[in-house]
Amino acid sequence: MAPPDTISRVESVNEDDSVEKSHSELNRQLLEVQWNQDEEKHILRRLDFYLIPLVMVMFFTLNLDRGNISNALTDNLMGDLSITQETVNTGNSLVYVGICIGDIPANLLIQKVGADIWLPCQLLAWGLVATFQAFIKNRSGFLATRFLLGLCESGFIPGTLWYLTKWYTKRELGKRTVLFFIGSYTANLLNGLIAYGLLRLRGRCGLAGWQWLFLIGSFLLVIRQDGLATLTVGLTTLFLLPRDPTRGNSIIKLPFSTFTKRETDILLGRIVRDNPYNTDPRDAHLSQFQIVVSVLTDWKVWMHCSMALLGLQYSAPLGTYSPSIIKSFGYGTFNSNLLVMPNSALLIITTFSLSWWSDRANSRSIPIIFAALWLLTGLIVLDTLPHNHSNWTFYAFLVFTGGSPSWHPLNVAWLQANQPTPRRRAIAVALYMAMTNLSAVPASHIFQARDKPYYHDGFKILFIMAAMAIALMVAMRGAYMWLNGRIERGKGTLEGGEVDRGFRYQL
């Protein structure tokens, strides 16, 4: 049985042969660890109740700070700052440009610094930027803070997803990845409710409602006047977030251990049995630059990225302008923000159900294709509704489309499961998330002012792209089936060397 500090000693060895020998011995020792099903269930339950809420709350604060722009638009933000809808679209694009610029560098740094330090520090940074949005006065300030917000958030999502692979097996990652994203979707749900209250403060202390939204809306929960700030969440996670299974404590040592020695051995043993390459040194001799090049030249990674580039175009325009579309039906500022909430509530329910099905069936592609077909149906209806339709009919399909199960978290889990080593996994997910955010740059300009209020031209573009993404999803499943067939015939190779005959790409 390997002591928890064995991996720490291995990481500091420079000689490739020594690393290989040490890792082989470590794998052998971990494979000898025995446990029963009840022990594993107990540890998994502890892990779920401790780790998942922490990362969910962190993602919640990210989307709360990023997404309240849609609510601010209903409170005359454009008029107060003397900006146009095109400027708002450009500002939203700059958020994603900042994220794209920083995604891969951030995920190289997180491997050096550690997720337990890097992620909370990011939260502190974007919390400050989000709060100072309340003091912008003009177009330049709006664009600058949107870019800085994206830059501070860059790498957070792929970094957290990489961090989760250190704790969970391939089969378990689907549901946990979705739970992580539900933290974001919950922010979408509560943004409308928070905006309903805060926008009513317009005129207090000489501030507009949208300024109160940025100022107090960056708080996680409004319990008293001072609330619990995003900064408090950052400091709390710095104390509580464990480093990895080999070092259960956070970097700031608490007077208790997150996991016992026995639990640590079981956690590591599970990961090794799930995929021996998780602690395998097959790419230990490669530099970070070589790993990046290897990932950039992997066609499978680009297939997943292309699915996101095409299939997630709907998210940015629908998220930004849904409250404004509803307001055009004749509702006031406050009610239009409340009426967005059913979208997010349905999204949470359907996405979690999709992840449950995916994990139970041990399949990613079929649930992903199902979710994409649901979205496609909604987009086609929104584009083809006649001009004399009832506003309630349009609203119903807006909820149907916005509440379609998100296949994005499952696609991330699918990509991670089919990357053989942790170093490749971190870069692949960072590249994928960069491409996902890049898709939001043109997507932010799909809904044009001339196409208001129903944006039929915009929805036509979105459903064409969604259809192309579905074709890629089907092709991706077929490609992995073909690769598994080659492995079974003894002809398969894996990035970095020969494939283990027990390895299979997840479908």
Tell me the CATH number at 166: 1.20.1250.20
> Quick check: pTM over 0.85?
no
pLDDT digits (tens, 9 = 90+) for 286-328: 777 888 898 999 999 999 999 999 999 888 888 888 888 888 8
> Which residues, 6 or more positions from 298, have their beta carbon under 8 angstroms from its beta carbon?
428, 495
- Look at residue 494 in the predicted model and tell me its pLDDT: 62
> Cα–Cα distance between 269 and 276 in angstroms, integer?
10
Residue tagged 């509803």 (tokens) = 326
- DSSP state letters, 43-97: HHHHHHHHHHHHHHHHHHHHHHHHHTHHHHGGGTHHHHHT--HHHHHHHHHHHHH
pLDDT digits (tens, 9 = 90+) for 340-362: 889 889 999 999 999 999 988 98
* Residue 504 placed within a domain: no
* Residue 4 placed within a domain: no
* Residue 299 placed within a domain: yes
Residue tagged 């208001």 (tokens) = 452
* Residue 503 placed within a domain: no
Total number of domains constituting the chain: 1
- Look at residue 9 in the predicted model and tell me its pLDDT: 31
Of the given ranges (130-139, 433-442, 487-496), which has the lowest mean pLDDT? 487-496
* Residue 5 placed within a domain: no
- Span 258-279, mean pLDDT? 76
* Residue 168 placed within a domain: yes
* Residue 12 placed within a domain: no
* Residue 367 placed within a domain: yes
**Whether the Cβ atoms of residue 399 and residue 449 lie closer than 8 Å to each other:** no
Upper half-sphere CA count for residue 223 (Cβ side, 13 Å): 5
Report the 10 Å Cβ neighbour count for 44.
Answer: 18
- Look at residue 197 in the predicted model and tell me its pLDDT: 74
Query: Which domain does 399 fall in, by range?
Result: 18-498
- Span 273-291, mean pLDDT? 68
Whole-number mean pLDDT of the chain?
Answer: 81
- Span 118-135, mean pLDDT? 86
- Look at residue 308 in the predicted model and tell me its pLDDT: 93
Is the pLDDT confidence value at 275 over 80?
no
- Where does residue 286 rank: exposed (0-12), middle (13-18), buried (19+ CB within 10 A)? middle
Higher-confidence residue: 393 or 187? Answer: 393
